[in-house]
Amino acid sequence: MGKQPVTEPFLIEKLNEAKIHFERALDCKHTEFDDLYPYMIEHPQFFWYKRYVAWSELLTIAGLCEELSFDWREQFTPQQVEYIEKRVMSSTVLDFWYEKNDSIEPAQR
């Protein structure tokens, strides 16, 4: 694979991939993380850690978009933007990520 310039469309695509990854982790669906650490499925803390990793990825890419002045917020509901801007993955984020979100589909299955 050749070098990709860091353009707005490229980074927004990566942001959408991170969003799907986080939503799949929220929904306890299979992600790349399961393939990297298959032994963790046997441990109860696995789902919490998997969500934390996906949340960190989402925050990192949103932060890069912000730093580069790319419009990342339109990919999310206003409530989701607020969660991301607060940066803390709280029980509120886990419980209400999809709330008032009827027009946006959950992660692709």
Distance CA 22, CA 15 (A): 10
For 75-98, give one letter per residue: b (16+ CB within 10 A) or e.
bbbebbeebbeeeebeeebeeebb
Q: State how many domains the chain has.
A: 1
Residue 80 falls inside a structural domain = yes
How many helices (DSSP H) and strands (DSSP E) are in the chain? 5, 0
Q: What is the pLDDT of residue 100?
A: 58
Residue 43 falls inside a structural domain = yes
Residue 36 falls inside a structural domain = yes
Which residue has better confidence, 23 or 107? 23
pTM of structure: 0.80
Average pLDDT over residues 6-24: 95
Residue 1 falls inside a structural domain = no
Q: What is the pLDDT of residue 102?
A: 47
pLDDT in tens, 29-76: 877 777 777 777 677 677 788 899 999 999 999 999 999 999 999 999
Residue 103 falls inside a structural domain = no
**What percentage of the chain carries pLDDT values higher than 70?**
85
Residue 32 falls inside a structural domain = yes
